[in-house]
Amino acid sequence: MSETQNLTLVQAVRDALYTEMQLDEEVIVLGQDVGKNGGVFRATEGLFEEFGGDRVVDTPLAESGIVGCAVGMAAMGMRPVPEIQFSGFMYPSYDQIVSHMARFRARSRGRFTLPMTLRAPYGGGIRAPEHHSESKEAFYVHEAGLKVVMPSTPYDTKGLLISAIRDPDPVIFLEPKLIYRAFRGEVPEEDYTVPIGEAVTRREGEDVTVFTYGAMARPTLEAAESLTEEGIDAEVVDLRTVSPLDREAIVDAFKRTGRAVVVHEAPKTGGLAGEITAIIQEEALLYQEAPVTRVTGFDVPYPLYALEDYYLPSVTRIEEGIREAVEF
Amino acid sequence: MSETQNLTLVQAVRDALYTEMQLDEEVIVLGQDVGKNGGVFRATEGLFEEFGGDRVVDTPLAESGIVGCAVGMAAMGMRPVPEIQFSGFMYPSYDQIVSHMARFRARSRGRFTLPMTLRAPYGGGIRAPEHHSESKEAFYVHEAGLKVVMPSTPYDTKGLLISAIRDPDPVIFLEPKLIYRAFRGEVPEEDYTVPIGEAVTRREGEDVTVFTYGAMARPTLEAAESLTEEGIDAEVVDLRTVSPLDREAIVDAFKRTGRAVVVHEAPKTGGLAGEITAIIQEEALLYQEAPVTRVTGFDVPYPLYALEDYYLPSVTRIEEGIREAVEF
Amino acid sequence: MGLGLFGYEPEGATVNVFERPYDDPVRVLDEHGAVVGDVPDLEESDLLAVYRYMRIARHFDGRAVSLQRQGRMGTYPPLSGQEAAQVGSAYALGADDWIVPSYREHAAALVRGIPLTQTLLYWMGHEDGNRAPEDVNVLPVAVPIASQVPHAMGAAWASKLRDEDAVVCCYFGDGATSEGDFHEGVNFAGVFDTPNVFFCNNNQWAISVPRERQTRSETLAQKAEAYGIDGVQVDGMDPLAVYAVTKAAVEKARDPDPDRPRPTLIEAVQYRFGAHTTADDPTVYRDDDEVETWRRKDPIPRLESYLRTEGILDDGRVASIESDVEAQVAAAIDEAESMVRPEPRELFEHAYAALPTELERQFEALEALREKHGDAAFLEE
Amino acid sequence: MGLGLFGYEPEGATVNVFERPYDDPVRVLDEHGAVVGDVPDLEESDLLAVYRYMRIARHFDGRAVSLQRQGRMGTYPPLSGQEAAQVGSAYALGADDWIVPSYREHAAALVRGIPLTQTLLYWMGHEDGNRAPEDVNVLPVAVPIASQVPHAMGAAWASKLRDEDAVVCCYFGDGATSEGDFHEGVNFAGVFDTPNVFFCNNNQWAISVPRERQTRSETLAQKAEAYGIDGVQVDGMDPLAVYAVTKAAVEKARDPDPDRPRPTLIEAVQYRFGAHTTADDPTVYRDDDEVETWRRKDPIPRLESYLRTEGILDDGRVASIESDVEAQVAAAIDEAESMVRPEPRELFEHAYAALPTELERQFEALEALREKHGDAAFLEE
Ligand SMILES: Cc1ncc(C[n+]2csc(CCOP(=O)(O)OP(=O)(O)O)c2C)c(N)n1
Ligand SMILES: Cc1ncc(C[n+]2csc(CCOP(=O)(O)OP(=O)(O)O)c2C)c(N)n1
Ligand SMILES: [Mg+2]
Ligand SMILES: [Mg+2]
């Protein structure tokens, strides 16, 4: 067995970048404040010193420029890893993401591929200013040609980010900033991959299946644990990749219990919980013993921090959702 | 009864604009080629001559600028009606749409409201170049603060567009360009409104409820008619507004048949069919006799026109979807 | 008009503030407060008001940073060093004019009528902080960089179309000039000749990215060339120069000369003394030396020294202003901290003019949960 | 270098193509083909090639428009009038250089190696038309205006980072300069000093919106000031002037002078003779007079007249080129029309490197339906 380190999630991001930059000269990191400053969350700390200003590049303040130039570099065969400082600032680059990043391969019938990985921290709960707490993965899941990854542990983060960088297709890698430093986990020093597109069961259970991903995995597991006291045995499936969804895993896990809850912090309407519900009922309606419960953010703009605790799914809200599915 | 005219859908758009511009000086139309040229689809024909260059304004080629300056005008109390030439070119203005247009009221606690209406033709089937056939309403439905309207008849188009222009909140008005000139309908000459947020039953039926909107309403009705030959009696509900969804109408209509099909041309994953399915099963699971069938575009980039007929839901595909729901 | 060398002189004087080389910033006071240019025509009371606003801003800034340190406020973006640019420009506007700020314009907002309490509330995470009082012409804080530039253009366009007099002044940073929205908004202003002042607070840094990394153009003022509008650089740490230049730009916007564009791009050269926000550590990316050099240009002692020379200020008045300012800021903090946490209903309240049924239901579900479990059910962790 | 007055002269000559006033376009031939500037150093065969490419482009354009009229092709954007700009610039590139086109650069693409058949296929709605042959350095058609500008910058940046020699030439229109992506892409190029040529086809119109409505700046070339790069105007209907200016820009990008920026913004002043696309009716928004004035600048007779004067062309050669060109275009049309409609599998084939299961299932469902109902089930209406 190889050596491991005890890393936080954000350190695992950095470790993945470091690992791939060592192994492949075509990997470069670019974005706002990723260089000398090491990233506003320190996700690129030390990379500038290690790899120099040609491979770890502070760019002007222009998201469409960042994503667009990465598209051009990737079309030439490089593996750029642009960072957008917060996922709430990806919108100025939305045209580059959906019109180009997603479609370059299809448009050129495979002549040009885009092995690029767009990283951004997402999600709420850190008492941040407006626009710094967005969780709008659904905006990218609806666009074919993209893969969208949302890890929840340091181990997965490194393995999935390496997979993303090596992937021949463009990947959006959304990092749960709420848990960037919330805990540590064992992370191999060597390079390894976790496959994109595979969900994982975090907790086995008999009564109900709870689907979640990213920062919501922890409160969901906590809720599942605490409900054992009430005799409820909940299974927790961490999707890890939200596009393409691991339909097989979703359907199989659901069939075992016949009851499901989906937990995400994104707003309810048009969020992934709806899509997952649709998948379940289109493939396993006859197994369904209760409506799929959606425990999600509300359909309102993400609030300033005085009210954010009411907005985000809390352990109690998740528990209620699970009870609802079980008691139906 | 007032006089009526026999108008195409695009003429109804023009008529609504004309009507409101006559009634309210604060209504102005702006966008690319909306002035002298009368719009690339002639939706603003003659308005420039009628109201002059200060109220019907050709802008530079910059979508974010168009939406962004309309936000500023609307914050001052004007009622701008910006046009984006094709919905596939709304993406450069995505940040203005989701970060500002949707949130100005909430951000300013109601001090500033945005009575603006963003119009764009959407959808496929007209043999257009790349990016000219998008149907990505889901991108806007997931953002609170916006209303999203997608009419399917000339009468509704005029009434809904007038409602949108008068609405105190920002409305995205997506026009089914496939049927801009496909047929005519009686449209009152006077001003009248059709309420935003209300679905309408286009065809009553006993066996299955088919939900659709916009350009897909016609082939859906055609499929429903033709299935009577097979003894299938399908109800067709035209949602008209996709945000906020008319949940009551959806649930009520579903309960009557216990079977549902959703038809839209947007890609399947993350599309509105998933959301509607989730609503149905969360409110009416016990009525559900079959999985909700999704008849939608595929999860691929919209193709160039040689293949677009395979992409779009056709009458045959819709019929198959309805049969599937009925025969389950 | 009486602004002399720096003034906008519609009568067609040949020397005009808008016809300087872009890299020759307008100056009135040097670093020691000595007069090196034409002093704008301001009453003593106005000069004192400018001084006083700058002192409030500086003191407020220090208090806000320590509130954040003590966990009494969230992330906060300090403005120390930038008082002259904000106060000098905002003070040059007329009563009906508007400002369209980014997130750092607390001092400009104060001059225009936003109470300090609201600025505090905003950074304490209360939405109410972003609601300008009805009669205050300030758009809400815009966090996405440069995204407010098109709004400012649209607001000015509304003023023009309605034949009103209002001029709209838009604030943004050096980093903002790299964004597409800066380009699109200013270009629209050129085309539609709107009454706009685009006021760029070039504080040399966009978080850790230096001005030279934003753009290769030698000045930011020269970007005006791309839009066919006027561009001018000003010493942004000289409140009187900022006032004079802004005043000229506002007057030109309001009473246009047929031969000149109404919009102006002003590059106010300045420095942020502190961190980008309380979440930032500037020592990682910039040298103390650089900070020291710029501190010598501090706008406050500069104006103070001028006012002392002019006999407008003395030790006694300075001390009394100082204690007034402290009391005013302390009172605002007390008021803000006495505000109760907003009710959860506020989450939903302003999403739409009338709440859609589904949102009403979501709110009811939230209330039912609160009923059952109490607030602790949400506030855990 | 030998480009004389118009050349890029790294040795430090004082008269340099990049130091002209922005509103003084580079010219070589006047409207009648008389020499009015320094003729670039081109072999007879090159001059003939340029002439020939322009003839092909013009003839192709006419045929394409009538194919569309006959329902044999979809919407098509004609380029007549713009041949000199496209051919002159593309011809100035080196073998390893790249072009990044918009949707109207059929002639530039042809010069760089895209077969006419592919251009036809593309506008006939076949995805295959957008797949450049492996060894052809042309990025796919970019329809969203200006969105290709950052790509061109990124591709050039890749060349620079890898220490390669390739220069990247990006095409876009006058309208495109209003978009944020133009601004962001060109600004990046300035900052990272990438080997880029930004070639603006200013054809006076963006559909119905005239050049003056896009921006208030007097020239588009001067927008270079905003990015600290070189900007130059050229008579875009003079193929030799376009060649000379592009060549100078390419050489400067490839072998940079330490004192000059590598990137250049070229504004090629020209006119589109026809409609914006076959879906457009230009008589609604522009006068015949204007069209006539510009038709007098037609690049083809202009170069032809020069070549006749030089003894390079005569009636016989012109006639033989004409019939060659007709045959070549006819053959391409035959080939394109003989292509079968792509298989539905093509819808899915290139969405990802490896098709996700769900897409495989969607494809199977489509095939099952075809099996059951035949193609008519989809192709109705
Ligand atoms: C669109 C967008 N991208 C990124 C950010 C994150 N961010 C906040 S402030 C800042 C730097 C802004 O620099 P500048 O425009 O010079 O203004 P300053 O903060 O110096 O006043 C960045 C990158 C943002 N708020 N919006
Ligand atoms: C982002 C975007 N907005 C709108 C359009 C629709 N459109 C296609 S061509 C065109 C005009 C382009 O003008 P210009 O840049 O001058 O190029 P030209 O067509 O004259 O060559 C417009 C508005 C588009 N393709 N992309
Ligand atoms: Mg700055
Ligand atoms: Mg043009």
- What torsion do the CA atoms of A195, A199, A203, A208 make, to the nearest 10 degrees? -170
The closest residue, in CA terms, to atom 25 on ligand 1 is C144
The answer to whether residue C5 scores a pLDDT higher than 50 is no
Cβ contact C356–B197 (<8 Å)? yes
The answer to whether residue D16 scores a pLDDT higher than 50 is yes
From B153, B173, B322, select the one nearest B233 (Cα to Cα).
B322
Determine which of B59, B67, B69, B143 to mutate to test the interface with C (most C C-beta atoms within 10 Å).
B69
Task: Indicate if C352 and C333 belong to the same structural domain.
Answer: no
Ramachandran angles phi, psi of D228, nearest 5°:
65, 30
3-class secondary structure, A270: coil
Between helix C44-69 and helix C315-338 the angle, nearest 10°, is 50
Task: Give the mean pLDDT of chain A.
Answer: 97
The answer to whether residue D1 scores a pLDDT higher than 50 is no
pLDDT of residue A166: 98
The contacts of residue C283 (CB under 8 Å, 6+ apart) are none
Give the DSSP letter string of A152-210: -SHHHHHHHHHHHHH-SS-EEEEEEGGGSSS-EEEEESS-----TT--EEEE--SSEEE
Measured from CB, residues less than 6 Å from any atom of ligand 2 are B 32, 61, 63, 85, 89, 92; D 104, 143-145, 172-176, 201, 203, 205-207, 276
CA distance C269 to C172: 12
pLDDT in tens, C221-268: 999 999 999 999 999 999 999 999 999 999 999 999 899 999 999 999
pLDDT in tens, D57-87: 999 999 999 999 999 999 999 999 999 999 9
DSSP H or E segment with residue D337? helix D315-338
Measured from CB, residues less than 6 Å from any atom of ligand 1 are A 32, 61, 63, 85, 89, 92; C 104, 143-145, 173-176, 201, 203, 205-207, 276
The closest residue, in CA terms, to atom 13 on ligand 1 is C206
Residues with CB under 5 A from ligand 3 (ion): C 173-174, 203, 206
Task: Indicate if D77 and D197 belong to the same structural domain.
Answer: yes
Between helix C180-192 and helix B63-75 the angle, nearest 10°, is 70
Is omega for the bond preceding A244 within 30 degrees of 0, making it cis? yes
Q: What is the mean pLDDT of residues A64-78?
A: 98
Domains and CATH numbers, chain A: 4-188 (3.40.50.970), 200-327 (3.40.50.920)
3-class secondary structure, D198: strand
- Number of structural domains found in chain C: 2
CA distance B164 to B172: 8
Instruction: Supply the range of the domain harboring residue C353.
Output: 345-377
Task: Indicate if C128 and C196 belong to the same structural domain.
Answer: yes
Q: In the annotation, is D122 catalytic?
A: no
Instruction: List Cα–Cα distances, B18 to A42, B160, C81, in angstroms.
Output: 55, 14, 52
Task: Indicate if C145 and C216 belong to the same structural domain.
Answer: yes
Task: Give the mean pLDDT of chain C.
Answer: 95
The token duo for C209 is 């990215």
CA distance B291 to B282: 13
pLDDT in tens, D127-166: 999 999 999 999 999 999 999 999 999 999 999 999 999 9
> Alpha carbon D17 to chain centroid distance?
22
H-state helical runs in chain A: 9-23, 47-51, 63-75, 94-95, 104-107, 138-141, 154-166, 217-227, 247-257, 272-284, 308-311, 315-327
Between helix C44-69 and helix C83-91 the angle, nearest 10°, is 140
The closest residue, in CA terms, to atom 17 on ligand 2 is D173
Task: Look up the CATH number of the domain holding residue D264.
Answer: 3.40.50.970
**For the CA of C85, the nearest ligand:** 1
Instruction: List Cα–Cα distances, A264 to A93, A137, A254, B278, in angstroms.
Output: 24, 10, 17, 15
C-alpha of residue C214 to centroid of ligand 3, in Å: 10
The answer to whether residue D320 scores a pLDDT higher than 70 is yes
Q: Is D148 on the interface with B (CB under 8 A)?
A: no
The answer to whether residue C10 scores a pLDDT higher than 50 is no
The token duo for A90 is 């990806």
Task: Indicate if D334 and D350 belong to the same structural domain.
Answer: no
Task: Indicate if D333 and D350 belong to the same structural domain.
Answer: no
Q: What is the mean pLDDT of residues D28-34?
A: 97
Task: Indicate if C116 and C242 belong to the same structural domain.
Answer: yes
Residue D144 exposed, middle or buried by CB count within 10 Å (0-12, 13-18, 19+): buried
CA distance D92 to D17: 15
Cβ contact C188–B60 (<8 Å)? yes
pLDDT of residue C2: 35
pLDDT tier, D380 (very low <50, low <70, confident <90, very high otherwise): low
- What torsion do the CA atoms of D259, D261, D264, D265 make, to the nearest 10 degrees? -110
The amino acid at residue C357 is T
Residue indicated by tokens 């580079």: D26
Task: Indicate if D133 and D267 belong to the same structural domain.
Answer: yes
pLDDT in tens, C95-154: 999 999 999 999 999 999 999 999 999 999 999 999 999 999 999 999 999 999 999 999
* Closest chain C C-alpha to A56 CA, distance in angstroms: 13
CA angle C204, C207, C209 (to 5 degrees): 65
Q: Is D217 on the interface with C (CB under 8 A)?
A: yes
From C57, C48, C65, C172, select the one nearest C107 (Cα to Cα).
C57
Task: Find out whether A128 and A305 touch, Cβ atoms under 8 Å.
Answer: yes
From C170, C197, C179, select the one nearest C265 (Cα to Cα).
C197
Task: Indicate if C329 and C236 belong to the same structural domain.
Answer: yes
3-class secondary structure, B27: strand
pLDDT in tens, C54-68: 999 999 999 999 999
Task: Find out whether C200 and C268 touch, Cβ atoms under 8 Å.
Answer: yes
From C56, C195, C172, C52, select the one nearest C120 (Cα to Cα).
C56
C-alpha of residue B85 to centroid of ligand 2, in Å: 10
Task: Indicate if D358 and D306 belong to the same structural domain.
Answer: no
Task: Indicate if D178 and D121 belong to the same structural domain.
Answer: yes
The token duo for D180 is 């944020």
From C62, C278, C267, select the one nearest C177 (Cα to Cα).
C267
The contacts of residue B219 (CB under 8 Å, 6+ apart) are B263, B313, B314, B315, B318
The answer to whether residue C8 scores a pLDDT higher than 90 is no
From A129, A120, A98, A99, select the one nearest A32 (Cα to Cα).
A120
The answer to whether residue A14 scores a pLDDT higher than 90 is yes
- C179 torsion bin: left (phi>0), alpha (psi -120 to 50), beta (else): beta
3-class secondary structure, B195: coil
Task: Indicate if D330 and D361 belong to the same structural domain.
Answer: no
Residues paired with A200 in a beta bridge:
A238
Report yes or no for ipTM above 0.90: yes
The answer to whether residue D381 scores a pLDDT higher than 80 is no
Quote the radius of gyration of chain B (alpha carbons, Å). 19
